[in-house]
Structure 1
């Protein structure tokens, strides 16, 4: 690459400062630190790629607040494993992006770049909004329920939640260890594939992305289809019709998975109460009503109830493997519809609870815009550990889904 370090830094800073006052995607960034990092960055496979780091992920050069006043002065002495790997590959980790409190439901200051009255989703709100506004190339995100998929859908970008356990979680604040999964957000599949080649191992692997169609696609509207709004219903139909011209497409009935959402809530609540035991015991007065209710719900769950939910989840994971004997990919809704108004919260996670419980890899792709002209996504899912295949199929799907004009970002084209 011919770009000089200071040129890379200057471009990264300019991209952030063009929209940050409106979008409010960052908790912290520092042009001087960005310049220093650019000068020190090795000439690796991600050289010059600008990355926003979700603020539950530790960084040595910025505070890590977890979206909570409890950690306002928290300055880690080292980087999380994922940040270290990206830096070693030449990426510029340009700052910390806004998260909801402990990656749950209490929203931060970030707005949706397509309509500032709307939520960018939660909990990876800052990373998603920053990517959508063109402020960064890659956003580090995480998912415990729908914290990556929903923001990707609402912000009209690509979201990759890999198979559970694919990326190291050292240095990432835990909420529910049975589900916590690190992932990425970007404007296209190629960028998340490049990051995947770095994040999936201790040393970078070759990027092998090759856009190709799957042979068999299952359309899964899920047991919660009644929650789908017109924009999501239309997006699913458009995507299925596009795919039908290139692959065998048929409906998949997963109505017998209807209890999965309740299982997910039970396990997540119980484990969140464990993970946040110190915060609840020592700093309860600084917790929001949303996170306090989650913890108290978890504290009221009996151990046997929790263990039973874990056993049922394991049974469903065995069963879904049989579904993928008949399909390469499942097409499913990513969110109920367009981004809701900010005052109503960060949106309903219902369309991802099942897939997070099953630990499957998923790629969220932009679909057609909804009735208000706002982004609506769909998600593609593959069997556990078929991540490379899923990225290949998603790169193909990205090309054949309808291209639509990108709206102006916060009134600035």
Structure 2
């Protein structure tokens, strides 16, 4: 994979110019894209700034995020060819840092679950996940050093695990969603895909303007969570979690069992009510004017969402709010820095009829806390584990992810 830090080190050392770095990325895209199908549009003549902390870094932009120089089609024929007049706030920020938004990456239609044609470069014949299919696959294939995704349920963490890359869902509202097609305003969160935890930490620190996010890996106090609020995972996922635990313990981490009270089962169950009620409003025009043009899973979802009333939605929001406040206190009293748990139920599903299951991600998206997927080496298709920190402590999540990444590499 292409490393953001490696490219920047070469640029700062004078052995590579920003233009040459972007040219390397374009060559990788030309080589791999015909098989991966991760891109929907590319800039044929990009402007490459020669200065800035991300100069020379080409970025993939999920195709629900507005770009003034490339169409934003949202994975749907309804918006085919639509060209925004302005960049989303996150794209404007990348440009100010010197980065080059080089390509739009595939998304499931309106970031729901109807699959794309994108292939998983690390697990042939298996889904790359979704909805940020193209961003995860492009980084995994070595076509891009950095890509943007979004998560409403598990659309960053799950495809990152399936494709064997690092995925970061930051704290809610750390990154601006202005100019991003809304599905659920309570849940939608911008995220990043990169080759390593250190790459992701550098990118997030710069984009958010918070240098404290990037800090050296340190030995964390870890709470090991085996989720009881949803159906269990497959054996291979538990195997990856056990390998991660063993590697962290061998590297000196203090690990203790961590559990959640029954409130969080109730909160997990309310995710769908919040998401579905809001999506019916966020996609009201598409549903009213183009229902027959929506893909089948999204169309059925919106059909059912019309029946959710405001009272049910308000009750679900109260449960979520109570759980968020409780989680803050629980993490403090548990005397841990991060939670280590599952990223996905197992290997990416065979075939392309499904983008996988987000049950190990939805609760944490609703809690608004930072999450990082770390790939776990092993035989067979990629697997990952998830590191979670308290709200606003993105630096803890990424530092612990870097520690675990190093521990796994040393153990291997």
**Alignment TM-score, normalising by the size of structure 2:** 0.92
CA distance in 1, matches of 2:403, 2:60: 26
Give the corresponding residue for 2:351. 342
1:378 to 385, 388, 402: 385
* Counterpart position of 1:410: none
| Matching of residue 33 in structure 1 with residue 42 in structure 2 | no
How far apart are 1:221 and its partner, in Å? 1.2
Measure, in 1, the Cα distance between the counterparts of 2:85 and 2:59: 20
SS of equivalent to 2:154: coil
Q: 1:206 to 1:244 in 2, by over 3 A?
A: closer
The answer to whether the 8 A contact 2:122-2:381 is kept is yes
Q: Do 1:42 and 1:88's aligned partners in 2 also have CA atoms closer than 8 Å? A: no
| Alpha-carbon spacing, 1:323–1:100, altered in 2? closer, same or farther (3 Å) | same
Which stretch shows the higher mean deviation, 219-228 or 361-370?
219-228
Match of 1:362 in 2: 371
**CA–CA separation in structure 1 for the residues paired with 2:279 and 2:354:** 20
Q: Is the 8 A contact 2:267 2:320 kept in 1?
A: yes
The secondary structure found in structure 2 opposite 1:227 is coil
The answer to whether residue 57 in structure 2 is matched with residue 49 in structure 1 is yes
SS at match of 1:357: helix
Could you say which residue in structure 2 is the equivalent of 1:408? Answer: none
Residue pair 1:368, 1:375 contacting (<8 A) in 2 also? yes
Q: State the 1:224 CA deviation.
A: 4.8
User: Deviation per CA, 1:30-49, whole angstroms, max 9, x where unpaired?
Assistant: 3x323xx12xx150111111
* Residues 82 and 168 in structure 1, CA contact (< 8 A), matched pair in contact too: yes
User: Within 2, Cα distance between the matches of 1:183 and 1:208?
Assistant: 16
Match for residue 20 of structure 1?
33
Question: Take 2:108 and 2:80, find their aligned partners in 1: how far apart are those partners?
Answer: 14
Q: Which moved more, 1:256-265 or 1:228-237?
A: 256-265
> Aligned to 2:95, which of 78, 87, 96?
87
Distance 1:157 1:194 in 2: 16
Shift of 1:207: 6.7
Alignment partner of 1:353 is 2:362? yes
* SS of match in other structure, 2:219: coil
User: Per the alignment, do residues 244 and 5 of structure 1 end up closer, same or farther by CA in structure 2, a change over 3 Å counting?
Assistant: closer
Q: What corresponds to 1:71 in structure 2?
A: 79
Query: Shift in Å at residue 109 of structure 1?
Result: 1.1
> Over residues 241-260 of structure 1, what are the superposed CA-to-partner deviations in whole Å (9 max), with x where a residue is unaligned?
22223122111122512223
Stretches of structure 1 lacking an aligned partner (at least 5 in a row): 406-413
Matched residue SS, 1:380? strand
Deviation at 1:284, TM superposition (A): 0.9
Identify unmatched segments of 5+ residues in structure 2. 1-10
- Contact (CA 8 Å) 1:224, 1:351: kept in 2 or not? no
Aligned length: 395
Q: In structure 2, what is the equivalent of residue 229 of structure 1?
A: 234
**Secondary structure of the corresponding residue to residue 159 of structure 2:** helix
Contact 1:42 1:89 in 2 (8 A): no
Aligned to 2:156: 148
Structure 1 residues 242 and 5: CA distance shift in structure 2, 3 A: closer
Matching residue of 1:305: 312
Deviation at 1:233, TM superposition (A): 0.7
Q: Distance in 2 between matches of 1:277 and 1:112?
A: 32
Q: CA deviation at 1:228?
A: 0.7
2:144 corresponds to 1:136: yes
- State the Cα distance separating 1:225 from its structure 2 match: 6.3
Residues 385, 5 of structure 1: alpha-carbon distance in 2 compared, 3 angstrom cutoff: closer
Q: Is the partner of 1:128 in helix, strand or coil?
A: helix
Q: 1:224–1:207: structure 2 CA closer, same or farther, 3 Å change rule? A: closer
User: For residues 383 and 148 of structure 1, what CA distance do their matches in structure 2 show?
Assistant: 18
Superposed CA RMSD in Å reads 1.7
